[in-house]
Structure 1
């Protein structure tokens, strides 16, 4: 019995040891160690999961939070990094590495005072902490205390600190003072202590390249290539040096050898292609990528890059072909690269106003990946274009719920609330965006637009003035300032802002377009056309302001010049649906129905879901066609409505067609819906007045026609409106 009892006791002890080995402490250590190994390998996604598993087991595991901060830092998520380091410090204030990383984050967001606080805290606990000393030096430099920083860093180096950052900081001080000799001296001393430092070698090579000492820069870059042979960016830097020094052949030879050495290395091809694009050599980039696709038949990455190149050079059709090839490479609809290809296709169709095709691919993405942020963002963008504020709000709420750091998500959500006239919700959304990034220019500009929409032009101006003072080079903010004055009908100040913008950036079309459209608003058609022509000279492929230029030409009786301009665009690009649409508008304004029909029909042949062309042609057929054309007009208008169900102009067209067809009930129904979105529109009021007069509703007819004729603006049917108003009075 005793022997049996001893055996049972031994078994119990063994089981206790086994369970202890797999207890919480052992588990969290296992997750932590695995996470560190993955971090060292550069697999930050998986490392993140392991560290999160560790803190789930022990929510007070400070070291795991510190590593989570490092992971987020590698993923360029500064807010996530801040959260990790802050939690690590909260749990263990003596973690000086975490304190140091927090100090670096403060430097990154230009908060030198807070960085200095962290440096002093570190040095109080450990006066010889080298990173703490360097953080203090960097905080002094960031605070513009250059002389104090130089003396301090010289003292630190004299005390035995030899890290490359110490010498890089000294060099930056000298460079800020314009002392190139001092910059070189600091870097050379750094290399004496750290001959294998890539950062120091690159900094000195950059200095030599900038001072036309190409031979010495080349020597240093070749040294760096030896130090890090797998880092292709160093070879690209050398190729760039050859280019800059006029030795392009040598640069091209180096690039060819880079690709030839590893012909099936996708990343290498992508980086070399980016080099070509950065030097405005799209043909070389295209050739390299196409050759890569031929050699690596199942490469998604190369096709994505090629489609981006095509899309960026107004070759949407080729981009679409490239992306559709991606869909043949993998049958699994849930494959991340298949989803990426479908999102890219949706973006291209969306840019071309083909909402049906864009929606088709977006729906496929969301079906395969219900929480796909890009898919919901695109679906929300489609809803905005359809003036469907309710669904836009739903989609962008999903975006910010899944990706709380998405500034663009908040901006689009605010836009959707504005569409729904939910001004308080719009303001709340923008405030939430500011919490994510208080320095965001985009959010601050959106705040200004919000004030302007609510007629608080003073606040809008203050917001933009503050932004311009902080970022003098922000040309979009300056442009917005002019827009605020236009909205306030202060055209003199608007003109002053746009003219100042033109002086500052004469090489971009923006200011010319803004001035041109302002002059047109004031009825100064010749001056407006002149500004828009200058914008077109700068960017001959532009389409955004072509419609305004055509309108100016018509007002100036330059219809022939407008037609000639559009014909030239069509000759250079026979698939330019926008040019055909504008040509249709020109012929429509001239009441030339056959030619307008021909132009619009061609636009719709190229882009079947171009709702503006369908709606415009429908209206022309109704206005100038025969009774036989009304059925075709109705079909076209209904097609436009399927794409833009709540658009006021489409509803107005439908109402006018029903009036022509003798269906006054449907006519009034559609026109009332249209006027609910723009009650002062003279054309829509004229149409409702005519319908009401025909239906025997004299009071409504009088009210609508009075409103239509309240302004001096000419519109098709104004003479008939005057006559009809006289009848119903």
Structure 2
């Protein structure tokens, strides 16, 4: 495992010597000619010990100027202290340079080797860290710090057997070494040795009674093992040992997972009332849980608070910069959530994000401002501008994880998954704890059918952020794909506890129930999903499929129709009734229900599609074409990402305006939009329109299937692409086209978790 920044800082603090060797003090006195510099050196160390690293760094720098190059030992010591200060100030590149200079002046400076090893380990350079640790161990085989670093590096390189031996040796030499105990316990837990992990943690807890970390680790261990009572006791014990923001927050996160929401909110409000440092605790928690609207409101309230005294200008500016960035990103997430149901509300929220970026731009450094601007442009589907802004951010700050992350999102949307993956990996290389990039990689792995890799990546996120709603949903999907339904159900319920207003956990639970052929349970979950998100096309479709699996009578459908009319009226349930009527061949009833669903909710695209299909089946394709034309025209034409696709798109737009009796223009424009990965709602409407006009054309079905794939509607993509393959045997296509069809279907199989079917198709 990688050392976290806070963990490395703790090791640095512990490593600082509190007094200089008398010989070095005498040497400084002799070199400079007075006792004052010695006093200043001691002063700088005192400042460093108290956490005032910036003034300490300035004093060290002034002293360094007075030391001649003929005294490399003194230079090395001062540069070591400067490196420690720079790392504490979150300036790792400068810290690295200072430590390198320290070792250049004195290669035998073992503390400098240790600090450099810790720095390299935090930056994911495990080989470099291990090399530095071994240099120290050559002269001092029992150096606890070097052994701890080596043990952690061995874990990160996959050599867990040797790592355990090293960490056990560390605890023999220093039984109270908390960091090594935590690492060893985690290693035991990964290897399904919970008793060994408990023993290590209890021993170090008894030796370090003022340190809450062993109790927090015990709590997480019990929680993972399903012992909620034991976990709660350990979380509360951690708070008793040290009532701090961290221990209170960890307890609150646990209580949220256990659906004890009132106490959770009480703890978070209490944290927010303590100091300005933790004033974002509650909105941060809401944001991670997917509750974007209250999070945005709280961030806005914090930014609207009176400015603090002038002497706090620098830290306040940094704090307000962080809060302003959180506010903008929260509004972008909220806009994305709203877009599924209310385009106008989404546009308003996006406008707020854009306005806040202008308002608070002065708080941000140029790279951060460019990265945020790229996120806003991406949310507005202006991919060309977003890419330029992301590239600008990277040029300004090559190590900016957010800039690499947003560029990865743009690459993914443009249909370039390998390039997207490279950007997200670059983000993690720059900042190993950058959660959004890790989640993006996990989601990409899940979409490609690699559920095992998804589980490995996303579980690391959940260990750090146990209430992260989106991470919990991805984790549940991966467990479901791996056939571990009980664990998937548990995680889905945790997601539901984190955000009870989202439909996604109910859809996951519904899918699990379908796999278990528990259709009654599936019915309840999908209905709950639709109550929460009435425009969810996936929940509508899956609920209709569940109904079809049972015995359907006219009496049952009449009952559903009546329930849909009861206040508050449900367009989703009325659409389902219409779909089920259509499936039984009762077309007039189906038409009545679907028209009523559209009357109640004119933006319900799935109902419009179902009604258009009904018109075609009833011999009225003109009505279907008119319906879908009106539906598609509600969206503005997409702009191509290059001149060629833009020109083609314009040609197909003109073809649609002039009449498209064959469906060619609709199909080809839908394909362009799908390739660009933008405006997929319109792409779907166009492809469905093309299918109505050319129902026997396998290429049209292939386009429709690919669009479902882009929309992550994997089951529907598989069904549609299989039909395209079947039609290709009746209406033959070229061998090259058939290869493309097979590739698309294989990709859909992988995304839906049907790995064997994908492999068989490619053989």
* TM-score of the aligned structures, taking structure 2 as reference length: 0.50
Write out aligned runs for 1:254-403 (5 A).
Answer: 270-274=280-284, 285-291=295-301, 299-314=324-339, 315-326=345-356, 328=358, 330=361, 335-349=366-380, 357-366=382-391, 369=394, 372-384=403-415, 391-400=416-425, 403=428
Question: Match for 1:95 among 108, 125, 143?
Answer: 143
In structure 2, relative to structure 1, the CA distance for the partners of 1:112 and 1:521 (3 Å cut) is farther
> Alpha carbons of 1:30 and 1:495: their partners in 2 closer, same or farther (altered >3 Å)?
same
Please give the residue correspondences for 1:207-246 in structure 2 after superposition, counting only pairs within 5 Å.
244=266
Q: Secondary structure at the match of 2:411?
A: helix
- The answer for the alignment partner of 1:421 in structure 2 is none
Residues 307, 20 of structure 1: alpha-carbon distance in 2 compared, 3 angstrom cutoff: same
Alignment of 1:562 with 2:594, yes or no, is yes
Give the deviation of 1:588 after TM superposition: 5.5
Find 2:115's aligned residue among 53, 67, 72. 67
Describe the superposition over 1:568-618 as per-residue Cα deviations: whole angstroms up to 9, x where unpaired: 334xxxxx4xx246425524532374686366435533454499xxx9xx9
Contact 2:373 2:386 in 1 (8 A): yes
Distance in 1 (alpha carbons) for counterparts of 2:97 and 2:558: 60
Q: In 2, Cα distance between the equivalents of 1:140 and 1:655?
A: 57
Structure 1 residues 495 and 331: CA distance shift in structure 2, 3 A: same
Match of 2:83 in 1: 35
CA shift in 2, pair 1:432/1:20, >3 Å:
farther
Which residue of structure 2 aligns with residue 681 of structure 1? 724
CA distance 1:383–1:147, shift in 2 (3 Å): closer
Aligned length: 554
User: Would you say the 8 A contact 1:62–1:88 is kept in 2?
Assistant: no
Equivalent residue, structure 1, for 2:211: 164
**8 Å Cα contact 2:574/2:593 also seen in 1:** no
- Rounded Cα–Cα distance in structure 1 between residues aligned with 2:232 and 2:194: 23
Q: Distance in 1 between matches of 2:689 and 2:79?
A: 65
CA distance in 1, matches of 2:120, 2:570: 40
Give the drift of 1:317. Answer: 1.1
Mark the CA change 1:88 to 1:580 in structure 2 (over 3 Å): closer, same or farther.
Answer: same
CA distance in 1, matches of 2:292, 2:179: 44
* 1:586 pairs with 2:630: no
Unaligned 5+ segments in structure 2 are 1-66, 308-319, 340-344, 463-469, 494-503, 531-535, 641-647, 678-682, 707-720, 736-763
Q: Which of 188, 191, 194 is the equivalent residue of 1:143?
A: 194
Equivalents in 1 of 2:560, 2:85: separation in Å?
59
List per-residue Cα deviations over 1:182-235 (Å, max 9, x = no partner).
9899889x86xxxxx44599679969x99xxxxxxxxxxxxxxxxxxxxxxxxx
In 2: Cα distance, 1:688 partner to 1:607 partner: 34
Seen in structure 2, the aligned counterparts of structure 1 residues 498 and 583 have a Cα distance that, compared at 3 Å, is same
User: How large is the RMSD of aligned CA atoms in angstroms?
Assistant: 7.3
Does the C-alpha gap of structure 1 residues 34 and 382 become closer, same or farther in structure 2, counting only changes over 3 Å?
Answer: same
Equivalent-residue separation in structure 2 for 1:317 and 1:396 (angstroms) = 29
Distance 1:544 1:101, change over 3 A: farther
Distance 1:414 1:278 in 2: 21
Partners in 1 of 2:670 and 2:214 — Cα distance? 66
The Cα offsets for residues 676-701 of structure 1, whole Å up to 9 and x where unpaired, read as: 99696289659968xx9xxxxxx99x
Measured in 1, the distance between the counterparts of 2:86 and 2:212 equals 27
Instruction: For residue 586 of structure 1, give the secondary structure of its aligned residue in structure 2.
Output: helix
- Indicate the residue corresponding to 1:643 in structure 2: 673
Q: Kindly indicate whether the alpha-carbon contact (under 8 Å) linking 1:346 and 1:361 is maintained by their aligned counterparts in 2.
A: yes
- 1:464 match: 482
Q: Which moved more, 1:595-604 or 1:161-170?
A: 161-170
Give the distance between the partners of 2:571 and 2:388, measured in 1 at CA: 29
Counterpart of 2:660 in structure 1 is: 630
> Do residues 121 (structure 1) and 138 (structure 2) align?
no
- Does structure 2 retain, via aligned residues, the 8 Å contact 1:138–1:169? no
Match for residue 601 of structure 1? Answer: 630
Q: Distance in 2 between matches of 1:284 and 1:447?
A: 25
Partner of 2:490: 473
TM-score normalised over the length of structure 1: 0.51
TM-aligned CA distance change 1:291 to 1:137, over 3 Å: closer
Match of 2:47 in 1: none
**Larger relative contact order (Cα-Cα within 8 Å, sequence gap ≥ 6):** 2
**Which deviates more, 512-521 or 359-368?**
512-521
Q: CA deviation at 1:382?
A: 1.7
Name the SS of the counterpart of 1:496 in structure 2: coil
Q: Is the 8 A contact 1:123 1:129 kept in 2?
A: yes
Shift of 1:377: 1.7
Counterpart CA distance in 1 for 2:216 and 2:460 is: 26
Contact persistence 1:655–1:670 (CA under 8 A): no
Displacement of 1:96: 0.6
Structure 2 SS opposite 1:393: helix
Gaps of 5+ in 1: 1-16, 192-196, 211-236, 385-390, 419-425, 451-459, 571-575, 661-666, 693-698, 701-729
How big is the shift at 1:628?
A: 6.2
User: Structure 1 CA distance, aligned partners of 2:539 and 2:106?
Assistant: 61
